[in-house]
Structure 1
Amino acid sequence: MARKQTYPLVKAAEKYAVQVISGKIVACKWIKLACQRHLDDLERSKDSKYPYHFSPARAEKVAKFLQLLPHTKGKWANKRELIKLEPWQLFGVCIPFGWLHKKDDTRRYRTILIFVPRKNGKSIIGGGLGIYMFTADGEFGAEVYSGATTEKQAWEVFRPAKLMVDRTPELRDHYGVDVNASNMCRTDDGSRFEPVIGKPGDGSSPSCAIVDEYHEHQDSTLFDTMETGMGAREQPIMLVITTAGSSIGGPCHLLVRDAERMLEGVIDRPDLWAMLYTIDKGDDWTSEASLIKANPNHGVSINADFLLARQRDAMQSATKQATFRTKHLNEWVGAKNAWINMLRWKEAPARKSLTELEGRRCIIGLDLASKIDIAGNILLFPPVDDDPYWHVHGRYYLPEARVIEELDSNTSRYREFDALGLLTLTDGEVIDFEVIKEDLREFAGRFDIEAVAYDPWQATQLAQEMEAEGLPMVEIRQTVQNISEPMKELEALTLRRVLAHGDCPILTWMASNVVAKLDVKDNIYPNKERPENKIDGIVGLIMAINRVLAGGSPDNNESFMDSIRNPIIA
């Protein structure tokens, strides 16, 4: 009888995930979500319709390979010890290699993001996985590149990889590796592993690209070129290993933000695996607990006393504080914060249908900031005596050309929204405002419209025409004075689980796109990190709340305001 495989390293990895979720291992919410995602996907994979399955043998193979490589730095290298992966490394680095497409057994994950503070064993991850992809992955003519913006940075991954191979003659002999001054190659199939500064040359077809310290990149040119070159490969890997930085809105910050939204379930990125080690919002950065939470190799590759000393220095110097929090707690110091707590957003109460809300008091927020992209018409129904919830519905308008033509990165998303019946498409390349006016007339006949709040930009003529028809149009200019307080109230409604938005995919996407930063007077204002991150629906909702706060309330004014500030337990 064949002996059953036990896969001890995979078991250790999954034990780590269970202990993180249970709280036995301290971790930030992003790591908890990553661990839960894997365990949830294991359950989903039992369904024949789920497109992926997990192969413990594939994950175990990578883990075993990495643990046959030698250390290249520090006391372990001095003792000529082999690498021993910590539980977080087994989970974060090896588990993604076990997830495969059911249809052809190719890898599910094409981008692996390891976002971790300095001195937590990044060279082992980058160098070791680079060697695996170069020699043991089974890719004929493999091309592995360690990419960076400077020669020094490119060698931060390649140098330890080269030393590992140099010090492992069995590996060199088995795979026929030639170690040269500036690259490694295998003559039997032409595979190569080398550092690259800038972007690879024409004709390159990476099977694995390793981007180290992505936060130092001013733009995504290297990343994009590597990714484009992978098109001819069946199951390439883009491995990004980085700490936080100061380039807010740069490509690394945007990738981390996308990973956060993926982990929250806001955007669908089934090919992205992300391990984001940092502290949680509200944590005391001066505590030792924060050091342990952000640094998974605390007390292993990074000395606890060293971190405590750096922390004490940071507590006495504003300049050192920024560096410490960036490099050792993995915070984007100075970044605008993701505004809405998306986990609480998804805990919203059930929303009543428009039919159920007929005759109810309604405030409309109309954001027509663009005629050539998406626009939002948001209906807000405040609480009444027998209903403590704020119900939100929206209609979203888009020129048909935005769905038909490949105009930008939002085209595929818009097509998905259209397939769900969530968009109103108008003919041509600009939004036909006549369609919006027809909807406003419909709403006026169905609901008790108290106000239609609008930004005069793009909407002045529409507002004049609708006012002539008897609609109560109210101009709301996009100033901090008009926006800050209703924006804070919207956040409060979300946190107290009284905003019934129906988990609308469009409004949820827009909510996740909003970033905000307090000014010296504690004012906030909705912003976005890049043009394609649309927030029109949320802006419309904020304008509607502005009218609720400024233009009166229901007869039971006290209970109305209490519904904002007092929690309702679902």
Structure 2
Amino acid sequence: MRKSRRPAARKTSSRTAASRIRGLRRSDCEHLAKLELENTETGEVELVPDYCGMARLYAEAVASKRLPTNRLLVAAAERYLRMLGMAEDQANDFYFSPIHVIDYCRFAERLRHFEPGSWEFTQIGPDGKPDPRIILEPCQIWIEAAIQGFRRRLTGERLVSTALEIMPRKNAKSLKATVAALFDLCCGGGSAEVPIAASTQKQSEDTLFGDIIKMVNNEPELKELYGLKVTKEAITRGDGRIFMLSSQGERQDGLNPSLAIFEEGHAGAKSVYAVVESAFGARPNALKRMITTAGYRPEGPGYDLLLEAKMVLEGKVEDWTLFAAVYTLDPDDYINPETKAVDYDKLFGNEDLIYKCNPMMDVSLDIIKIRTDVAKAKRLPDKRREVARTRFNLWIGSGTSLIEAHVWAACKRNIAIENYIGRRCWIGVDLAQVRDMCALILLFEEPTGEIVVFGKFYLPELSDTASNPEISDYLAAWHEAGFLELTPGPLADHDRVREDVEAFCDVFDVVVVACDPHQAHNTVKHLWDGNRPVMTYPNTAPTMTPPWDDIEGRIATERLWHDGNPVLQWMMQNVHGDRKGNGLILPRKETQNSIRKIDGAVALCFANGCRLEPGNAKATAPEPEVIDPYKLRGIIGFEEVANG
């Protein structure tokens, strides 16, 4: 056990006193006096850096906006400083423990970089030579102070149980995760169990788990001190282990993690995250830690956790057990205010934006390399989204996606369909061609002018779509959460959709049920026979452009509300389209055979089209019965021949 004997002396740095600074570096914290740390067992005293002082310094620079960043990180820094104040109150449920922060950081700074040519060569040791030891930067120390420092007052256990870090590529994400895994195994106490979660076995082997093996093999003193053993499957210490966990492996029913690490959670499998999450609870000090870059698509555990973190950081939900550090840009930095689309000239034309979202700029990142990537993206439009994702950490979709993830997410409201019983309603129905997904959209109007959208979705459980490995994890998770109904067999169950439509007609004041004219013949006939207000809506550019333009404009101004249904969210981000010279546009999939569906967006257009321009819908009275003349008069001449 160690204890601090002297607090840090606080001074004012000329760098941090500046009105605007690009980055806060370790060298800017030299004015903080070191602490004397006493080993209570040996009585030895050691001088250590004031890690907690550096963490506070960084949080203050971010919260005061002297260090340019984004609103979510400002909120996280403000929350950290507020928690420090709360922790001083003896009546509060948690306190702050500097010694836990010091122990973690000291462990990290005894390790060495393991890749030749890495950024350790920017650090010079006392002998004037490159120093391979890890030196934590203030941004890294702040994150660890927030995760390790806050403790439950009654038990002393770590308060944070879920930590999310989203930052651009090459900001030392793997290094941080490697240190976290080794610290838990070596210093966590008890039998540590640290799964490295990945969507595939190859991903876990090639990335983080492989890095941990390299780190251990590069540290013979570490192996000897803690008795670490390394195999292809695990790194072990006594009964503790660090091991790989992927969706391709067997389900870990006996899993009891002390620390679970999800690297690149934007591409992670929902099934793996669900397995790990269900195993938490047995250890009060257990921690789920996700370190990732932004992804192309709003699906997967990384994006789900980002939405949860936004709710916490924006003050909509109180959860002191969740920590999030999101290094990205604000929409104002890169969105065209008129078109609501990404303005790449704006994004790539201001070098300050690179520093704004890359906390390790000029440490682990080379500005010349990033300038080269940005210059290439300016010349080659097909490279723009990749550079925006990896260098600026933006979730901006792929291809020519018409709805950006962040814009749709901003329209989520705390609403429930039960609150609209008896209200006027427009229903849109897009039925599948046999083995695909069906969508049912309900649209309501608010007195203040907003439209409110709810969705129901159906998929044959034995269809090719349901078993497609690219999206099967998401489909299974949505079904388990009640957002997607899996119907028996391999064929789309149109009767099940019709039953729900009829049920909705009984509880809402349904103006119209608008169906796709190409797939809904039987459904339309049954609804017509039941005196339901059913019509067909042509799926053509002239009829789909007005409702889509209205939807797009409402999303941009948050005048369309939804309840956060993840299936509808996924479908809206899958919508592509090119506007013709005459201004018309037809929402479509990215490619004709794409597995990523847009049925919910199409059904929403049907419903909104009937709301805006009822004349575009067509009456669906069944065609008059064709009377077979042969049944009335027989075949001319046949009777005479028969009687002859």
**Among residues 442, 452, 476, which one is paired with 1:392 in the alignment?**
452
Q: Percent of counterpart pairs with the same letter?
A: 18
**Among residues 162, 172, 194, which one is paired with 1:121 in the alignment?**
172
Give the letter for the 2:449 counterpart: Y
Structure-2 residue corresponding to 1:421 = none
Question: How high is the TM-score relative to the length of structure 2?
Answer: 0.59
Q: Contact conserved, 1:286 with 1:315, CA < 8 A, in 2?
A: no
Q: Contact conserved, 1:30 with 1:260, CA < 8 A, in 2?
A: no
Q: Contact conserved, 1:377 with 1:537, CA < 8 A, in 2?
A: yes
Runs of 5+ in structure 2 lacking a partner? 9-34, 36-49, 114-119, 336-345, 460-474, 484-492, 617-644
> Residue 489 in 1 paired to residue 550 in 2?
yes
The alpha-carbon deviation at position 515 of structure 1 amounts to 0.7
Runs of 5+ in structure 1 lacking a partner? 400-406, 416-427, 554-570
Task: Please show how residues 104-253 of structure 1 align to structure 2 within 5 Å.
Answer: 107=158, 112-143=163-194, 149=202, 152-154=206-208, 157-159=211-213, 161-162=215-216, 165-166=219-220, 169=221, 176-178=226-228, 185-186=236-237, 189-193=238-242, 207-210=258-261, 212=263, 235-243=285-293
CA distance in 1, matches of 2:596, 2:311: 16
Give the letter for the 1:131 counterpart: L
> Residue 440 in 1 paired to residue 505 in 2?
yes
**Among residues 444, 447, 450, which one is paired with 1:380 in the alignment?**
444
Does 531-540 or 76-85 show the bigger shift?
531-540
Pick closer, same or farther for the CA change 1:490–1:263 going to 2, 3 Å. farther
CA distance in 1, matches of 2:85, 2:408: 24
Q: Secondary structure at the match of 2:356?
A: helix
Structure-2 residue corresponding to 1:341 = 407
Q: Secondary structure at the match of 2:579?
A: coil
CA distance in 2, matches of 1:380, 1:82: 61
> Residue 409 in 1 paired to residue 477 in 2?
yes
Give the letter for the 1:378 counterpart: L
Q: Contact conserved, 2:166 with 2:326, CA < 8 A, in 1?
A: yes
Larger radius of gyration: 2
> Residue 329 in 1 paired to residue 392 in 2?
yes
Pick closer, same or farther for the CA change 1:543–1:4 going to 2, 3 Å. farther
Q: Contact conserved, 2:195 with 2:242, CA < 8 A, in 1?
A: yes
The alpha-carbon deviation at position 114 of structure 1 amounts to 3.3
Give the letter for the 2:166 counterpart: F
Deviations 1:321-361 (A, max 9, x none): 56644543345673645446256425899x99769x97xxx
Pick closer, same or farther for the CA change 1:239–1:484 going to 2, 3 Å. farther
Q: Contact conserved, 1:154 with 1:197, CA < 8 A, in 2?
A: no
Q: Contact conserved, 1:511 with 1:538, CA < 8 A, in 2?
A: no
CA distance in 2, matches of 1:143, 1:379: 46
Pick closer, same or farther for the CA change 1:114–1:452 going to 2, 3 Å. same
**Among residues 556, 559, 572, which one is paired with 1:514 in the alignment?**
572
Structure-1 residue corresponding to 2:609 = 546
Give the letter for the 2:69 counterpart: A
Q: Contact conserved, 1:381 with 1:391, CA < 8 A, in 2?
A: yes
The alpha-carbon deviation at position 513 of structure 1 amounts to 6.1
CA distance in 1, matches of 2:458, 2:267: 37
Q: Secondary structure at the match of 2:165?
A: strand
Does 36-45 or 271-280 show the bigger shift?
36-45
Pick closer, same or farther for the CA change 1:292–1:96 going to 2, 3 Å. same
Give the letter for the 1:68 counterpart: E
The alpha-carbon deviation at position 3 of structure 1 amounts to 8.3
The alpha-carbon deviation at position 133 of structure 1 amounts to 0.8
CA distance in 2, matches of 1:352, 1:176: 58
> Residue 293 in 1 paired to residue 356 in 2?
yes
Pick closer, same or farther for the CA change 1:244–1:346 going to 2, 3 Å. closer
The alpha-carbon deviation at position 364 of structure 1 amounts to 0.9
The alpha-carbon deviation at position 131 of structure 1 amounts to 1.9
Q: Contact conserved, 1:133 with 1:208, CA < 8 A, in 2?
A: yes
CA distance in 1, matches of 2:153, 2:589: 41
**Number of paired residues?**
506
Does 541-550 or 454-463 show the bigger shift?
454-463
Deviations 1:67-88 (A, max 9, x none): 5324423232754375443332
Q: Secondary structure at the match of 1:493?
A: helix
Bigger RCO (CA 8 Å, 6+ sep)? 1
Query: What is the aligned-residue RMSD (CA, Å)?
Result: 5.8
Question: How high is the TM-score relative to the length of structure 1?
Answer: 0.65
> Residue 367 in 1 paired to residue 429 in 2?
yes
Deviations 1:505-555 (A, max 9, x none): 366984576314543337463879xx99998876654323212333379xx
Pick closer, same or farther for the CA change 1:63–1:538 going to 2, 3 Å. farther
CA distance in 1, matches of 2:85, 2:480: 28
The alpha-carbon deviation at position 488 of structure 1 amounts to 3.2
Pick closer, same or farther for the CA change 1:136–1:3 going to 2, 3 Å. same
Q: Secondary structure at the match of 1:140?
A: coil
CA distance in 1, matches of 2:73, 2:575: 25
Structure-1 residue corresponding to 2:123 = 76
Q: Secondary structure at the match of 1:69?
A: coil
Give the letter for the 1:130 counterpart: A
Structure-2 residue corresponding to 1:277 = 327
